[in-house]
Chain A
Amino acid sequence: MESIAIAADQSLDGRLAQIRARDSRAFRELVELLDGDLLRLCILIAADSELARDAVQETWTRLWTRPPKLRNPARLRSWLLSVAANEVRQSMRRARLAGAHAPIEPPASPQASSAEVIDLRNALARLNHSDRELLALKYLFGMDSPEISIHLGASAANVRTRLHRIITRLRKELRDDE
């Protein structure tokens, strides 16, 4: 399975220290490397590209303003993904409370025009946001169950069970749509 290429976490080792030292070039390079990934994750969770953009922007602002003190700097990518996911979930909650969030409708894009992708988009829209997050971690970022379990704070067995359930459901729904 091909997943979106992510630079090895080890390459981020020194980056956090540079950002803590207010190195704007290091910050820029990190944005260049990971902004697209954070955005994809948030779009899949929220199914709202504007909320996703805001959440990712908040994540970068937070990194620049209050860089974390991670014991293991190689976990910076994981930290960013977690913070972005958390930000977008909070935005969704606020939008729901304000009554402003429309029913889930994933954004259209030129790449997302084939019938198959439209069917998938509709099937994804019927999943809850935590299931979409799980799919993103597995199929966009190529994480395995133990990695996802660390990311989500759940057990690896729970992650495997949920993934199996989601895939079974999607297969059924997409076959039904054919």
Chain B
Amino acid sequence: MTSESQFEDRLAEGLRATSSSPDVEWSTDRVVADAMGRSRQASNKWALPLVAIAFATAAVLVIALIQTTPPPGSESGEGLKPAGATVAGKDYLVSFARSLQVDPSQITPFAPVESTTEAAFMGELVAYSLDGVNPSVALVVPAAEGAADQGGSIGDYVLLVRGNGAFAALCDYFDPASPATPDVCRR
């Protein structure tokens, strides 16, 4: 055994000892009860405010709809805010990329989606980094089951992108033959 591997063995042993803390090692029963209890508390705690928010939102939407419904034949969609999401304190644009081809083994949980205008399209509010892609440039979020817009199914993932050139960093994940692939990745 080399001195290097001996050192690594000692290091592993030391790390195990250092990371052991019996005073905070709860029993399984306590961990489970606490997790389930907190989830119940959370649902009770938010029930009333959520109902209130739902009513308020519905009222605002109705008023907004009345005031902003365009006359027949006019262009709709102008002035809409861009779809966005905030992850790890950074703002991303939300994009649907139907020709994105991502294998689950190529993604790693990165951080929770702190806020987004497009939660309805997201299956979980967790952003994942893609192998070989700087997470400051692009992330993906698993799409909600059956999520679709006017163009049909949005695919398996919602894309979060930042800055110019974000799509160029994703070319390995796009099918170059697909008409839905960004121009920069077409060959």
Point out residues on A near B: beta carbons under 8 Å.
1-4, 24, 27-28, 31-32, 35-36, 39-41, 43-44, 49-50, 52-53, 56-57, 60-61, 63-66, 68-72, 75, 78-79, 82-83, 86, 106-107, 109-112, 114, 116-117, 120-121, 124, 135-136, 139-140, 150-153, 155, 167, 170-171
Residues of A within 8 A of B7 (CB): 167, 171
Q: Choose from B10, B17, B35, B104 the contact partner of A71 (Cβ within 8 Å).
A: B104
Q: Choose from A60, A121, A153 the contact partner of B108 (Cβ within 8 Å).
A: A153
Interchain CB contact under 8 A, B21 and A109: yes
Interchain CB contact under 8 A, A153 and B12: no
Q: List 18 A-B contacts (CB under 8 A).
A: A1-B9, A39-B25, A44-B19, A50-B24, A53-B26, A60-B35, A65-B38, A68-B109, A83-B126, A107-B24, A109-B20, A109-B22, A117-B14, A117-B17, A121-B18, A140-B19, A150-B131, A167-B7
Residue ID in chain A nearest B38 by CB atoms: A61
Residues of A within 8 A of B32 (CB): 24, 27-28, 31, 60
B contacts with A: majority SS: helix
A contacts with B: majority SS: helix
Residue ID in chain B nearest A82 by CB atoms: B109
Q: Does B42 contact A (CB under 8 A)?
A: yes
Question: In the assembly, what is the distance between CA of A75 and CA of B128, in Å?
Answer: 13
Interchain CB contact under 8 A, A49 and B23: yes
Q: Does B123 contact A (CB under 8 A)?
A: yes
Given A32-B28, A60-B31, A112-B18, residue A170 in contact with residue B124 (CB < 8 A): no
Q: Choose from B16, B26, B111 the contact partner of A140 (Cβ within 8 Å).
A: B16
Known: A78-B109, A109-B17, A112-B18. 4 other contacts (CB 8 A): A31-B32, A60-B34, A60-B35, A150-B131
Interchain CB contact under 8 A, B12 and A140: yes
Given A150-B131, A171-B7, residue A107 in contact with residue B12 (CB < 8 A): no
Residue ID in chain A nearest B157 by CB atoms: A71
Residue ID in chain B nearest A73 by CB atoms: B104
Residue ID in chain B nearest A40 by CB atoms: B19
Total B residues in contact with A, Cβ cutoff 8 Å: 49
Residue ID in chain A nearest B109 by CB atoms: A82
Bitwise, B96-138 to A at CB < 8 A (1) or not (0) is 0000000111001111100000000001111001011001000
CB distance from B18 to the nearest CB of A (A): 5
Interchain CB contact under 8 A, B39 and A167: no
Residue ID in chain B nearest A114 by CB atoms: B17
Interchain CB contact under 8 A, A24 and B36: yes
Q: Does B150 contact A (CB under 8 A)?
A: no
Q: Choose from A49, A61, A140 the contact partner of B21 (Cβ within 8 Å).
A: A49
Q: Does B164 contact A (CB under 8 A)?
A: no
Residues of B within 8 A of A151 (CB): 108
Q: Does B11 contact A (CB under 8 A)?
A: yes
Question: In the assembly, what is the distance between CA of A54 and CA of B163, in Å?
Answer: 35
Interchain CB contact under 8 A, B11 and A139: yes
Question: In the assembly, what is the distance between CA of A15 and CA of B125, in Å?
Answer: 21
Q: Does B68 contact A (CB under 8 A)?
A: no
Residues of A within 8 A of B172 (CB): none
Q: Choose from A32, A61, A72, A170 the contact partner of B35 (Cβ within 8 Å).
A: A61
Question: In the assembly, what is the distance between CA of A31 and CA of B25, in Å?
Answer: 12
Question: In the assembly, what is the distance between CA of A82 and CA of B111, in Å?
Answer: 9
Residues of A within 8 A of B105 (CB): 72, 75, 150
